[in-house]
Amino acid sequence: MTEACIFDLDGVIVDTAKYHFKAWQRLADLLEIPFTEEDNEKMKGISRVASLDRLIALGEKTYSNKDKEKFCLTKNVWYLEYVSDINQSEVLPGIIDFIAQLKKKSIKIALGSASKNARKILSLVELTEAFDIIVDGNDVINSKPDPEVFLKGAEALSSSPSRTIVFEDSAKGIDAAKAGGFRTVGIGQDIHLGHADIVVEDLRQMTIEDLDKQLYI
Question: Which residues belong to the active site?
Answer: 8, 10
Burial state string for 60-69 with b = 16 or more CB within 10 A and e = fewer than 16:
eeeeeeeeee
pTM recorded for the entire structure: 0.88
Query: pLDDT band at 143, cuts 50/70/90?
Result: confident
* Level-2 CATH architecture, domain 4-14+88-215: 3-Layer(aba) Sandwich (3.40)
Residues 43/11, Cβ–Cβ less than 8 Å? no
Whether residue 19 has pLDDT greater than 80: yes
In the CATH scheme, what architecture does the domain 17-83 have? Answer: Orthogonal Bundle (1.10)
pLDDT at 1 over 90: no
pLDDT tens-place string over residues 38-61: 898 888 878 889 999 999 999 988
pLDDT tens digit string along 54-98? 999 999 889 999 999 999 999 999 999 999 999 999 999 999 999
Tell me the CA distances in angstroms from 40 to 18, 27, 37, 62, 135, one per residue in order. 9, 12, 5, 20, 23
Domain residue ranges in the chain: 4-14+88-215, 17-83
